[in-house]
Amino acid sequence: MNEKQQYPEQPPHTDAPKEKKGRRGAGGITLRDVAKLAGVAPITASRALNTPSAVSPEVLQRVREAVERTGYVPNMLAGGLASNKSRLVAAVVPTIAGPVFLETVQSLTETLARRGYQLMLGQSGYRDSREDALLEAIIGRRPDGVVLTGIMRSAEGRRRLLASGIPVVETWDLTPTPIDMLVGFSHEKIGAEVAGFLHAKGRRRVATISGDDERAVRRHRAFSDAAVGLGMCRAGEREIPSVVVPAPTTLGSGRSGLAGLLERYPDIDAVFCSSDLLALGVLTEAQARGIAVPGQLAVIGLGDLAFARDLHPALTTVRIDGTAIGRTAAECIIERAEGRPVASPIHDVGFAIVERDSA
């Protein structure tokens, strides 16, 4: 084999730029392709996708049809770098296993979507909370806003959120020192008002079954303090009977909670539960034991979940307007993300005791 055969002649070197080949396989359909198919300018197609309210319904429909036909997926990272906006809002909830936060998440999702934002959901847990680690990951992705369930208790988490400059809404609680914005209600007021409600109904031997999460514990303490002040406890006692169960609470923990209470305090005549699921368990256990509700035992839950009105007896419960919480939180985030001041950064949505047959 001669040298030329072993080392084939190479083409002469040139500094002229090589023609770039298309990258359909790697880059896929572009916004320009969508705009051409829809018969609009690329900037108009961009507005239709990012701020639908900025274009006419006809143009919006044409762009959406073009997206559907082409399978186009916007490059959110590139768009975010160009506009300094991700159009992504992160929400952190303790759990998705229980239904109590679902109304808020649904309302948050729908309100954001109407303004061209998407929701990213994270689950922090109750015990051994992963909230700090989750927030670190969220902040690193630079969302346009963060929605927290409850008040941020971690000093490190507060420091990171404040340093990030990202709009933050804490929900499902009240505090005089929010990180940024706040949409919630007073757990202490709930406890006190439920105690007053039961006292007005003539109940004098009250008890609680409560989850061990911080907000439920505060409700229990406020209920107990108010009940003791109203004379709804045994002579010489400074707190009312209670059972604390792991959060998230379940029907099963409601049944076992009532069983435990009755073993020690067979004369109790009312139980305030920290969730409707616990209350459902109490009703189930009471029925199994032949205890008349509300004749012998009044039962009150919290959450006013969909099943509460359909139980027999229908469940008296504390109604939290999760839809208002989600909608208001989303509106606050959007206003701040789009550079407008929020007139009222703190919103108390309140609560209502919904009286039904169980109490």
Establish if 261 belongs to a structural domain. Answer: yes
Q: What is the pLDDT of residue 84?
A: 59
- DSSP result, 194-232: HHHHHHHTT--SEEEEEESSHHHHHHHHHHHHHHHHTT-
Asked if residue 127 has pLDDT above 50, the reply is yes
Shared-domain flag, residues 103 and 143: yes
Q: Tell me: cis bond preceding 313? Omega within 30 of 0 counts.
A: yes
Shared-domain flag, residues 69 and 101: no
Residue with structure tokens 């007005």? 200
Asked if residue 138 has pLDDT above 50, the reply is yes
Q: Mean pLDDT score of the chain, rounded to an integer?
A: 87
**Is the distance from CB of 182 to CB of 346 less than 8 angstroms?**
yes
Shared-domain flag, residues 43 and 66: yes
Task: Give residue-wise pLDDT tens across range 23-49.
Answer: 333 346 788 999 999 999 999 998 998
Least confident residue range of 80-89, 180-189, 229-238: 80-89
In this prediction, residue 297 has a pLDDT band, given cuts at 50, 70 and 90, of: very high
In this prediction, residue 237 has a pLDDT band, given cuts at 50, 70 and 90, of: confident
Establish if 79 belongs to a structural domain. Answer: no
Establish if 203 belongs to a structural domain. Answer: yes
Within 13 Å and on the Cβ side, how many CA atoms surround 216? 26
Shared-domain flag, residues 210 and 287: yes
Average of per-residue pLDDT across 152-170: 87
- Top-confidence residue, 290 or 2: 290
Q: What is the pLDDT of residue 153?
A: 77
Could you give the CA distance from residue 211 to residue 299 in angstroms, rounded to a whole number?
Answer: 16
Q: What number of other Cβ atoms are within 10 A of residue 162's Cβ?
A: 13
Chain centre distance of CA 279? 22
CATH value at residue 53? 1.10.260.40
Asked if residue 51 has pLDDT above 80, the reply is yes
- DSSP result, 12-81: PP--SPPPPPP-HHHH-S-HHHHHHHHTS-HHHHHHHHH-GGGS-HHHHHHHHHHHHHHT----HHHHHH
Asked if residue 6 has pLDDT above 50, the reply is no
Shared-domain flag, residues 37 and 154: no
Average of per-residue pLDDT across 184-213: 97
Could you give the CA distance from residue 155 to residue 120 in angstroms, rounded to a whole number?
Answer: 24
**Is the distance from CB of 230 to CB of 282 less than 8 angstroms?**
no
Shared-domain flag, residues 199 and 167: no
Asked if residue 62 has pLDDT above 50, the reply is yes
Q: 3-class SS at 288?
A: helix
Q: 3-class SS at 310?
A: helix
Shared-domain flag, residues 61 and 103: no
List of residues 6+ apart from 357 with CB closer than 8 A: 294, 312, 313, 314, 316
Could you give the CA distance from residue 214 to residue 229 in angstroms, rounded to a whole number?
Answer: 23
Establish if 33 belongs to a structural domain. Answer: yes
Q: What is the pLDDT of residue 299?
A: 98
Shared-domain flag, residues 108 and 174: yes
Q: 3-class SS at 10?
A: coil
Average of per-residue pLDDT across 145-157: 87
**Is the distance from CB of 120 to CB of 88 less than 8 angstroms?**
yes
Residue with structure tokens 């208790």? 153
In this prediction, residue 12 has a pLDDT band, given cuts at 50, 70 and 90, of: very low
Based on the structure, what is the number of domains in the chain?
3
Average of per-residue pLDDT across 228-238: 85
In this prediction, residue 79 has a pLDDT band, given cuts at 50, 70 and 90, of: low
Q: What number of other Cβ atoms are within 10 A of residue 352's Cβ?
A: 12
Could you give the CA distance from residue 105 to residue 139 in angstroms, rounded to a whole number?
Answer: 20
Shared-domain flag, residues 244 and 165: no
Task: Give residue-wise pLDDT tens across range 251-262.
Answer: 999 999 999 999
- Top-confidence residue, 294 or 97: 294
- Top-confidence residue, 317 or 130: 317
Strand partners, 123: 93
Domain that residue 260 falls in: 187-319
Establish if 247 belongs to a structural domain. Answer: yes
Establish if 256 belongs to a structural domain. Answer: yes
What's the pTM?
Answer: 0.76
Shared-domain flag, residues 204 and 296: yes
Could you give the CA distance from residue 178 to residue 158 in angstroms, rounded to a whole number?
Answer: 10
Final residue of a domain: which of 41, 74, 107? 74
Could you give the CA distance from residue 139 to residue 135 in angstroms, rounded to a whole number?
Answer: 6
In this prediction, residue 156 has a pLDDT band, given cuts at 50, 70 and 90, of: confident
CATH value at residue 281? 3.40.50.2300
Asked if residue 4 has pLDDT above 70, the reply is no
Shared-domain flag, residues 273 and 338: no
In this prediction, residue 2 has a pLDDT band, given cuts at 50, 70 and 90, of: very low
Establish if 11 belongs to a structural domain. Answer: no
Shared-domain flag, residues 295 and 211: yes
CA trace torsion 193, 194, 196, 197 (10° rounding): 120
Q: What is the pLDDT of residue 159?
A: 85
- Top-confidence residue, 78 or 357: 357
Residue with structure tokens 């808020």? 104
Asked if residue 9 has pLDDT above 90, the reply is no
Establish if 314 belongs to a structural domain. Answer: yes
In this structure, are strands 316-319 and 352-354 parallel, antiparallel, or unpaired? antiparallel
Q: What number of other Cβ atoms are within 10 A of residue 39's Cβ?
A: 12
Torsions phi, psi for 10 (to 5 deg): -90, 150
Torsions phi, psi for 169 (to 5 deg): -120, 120
Average of per-residue pLDDT across 286-315: 97
Closest CA to 212 of 126, 103, 125: 126
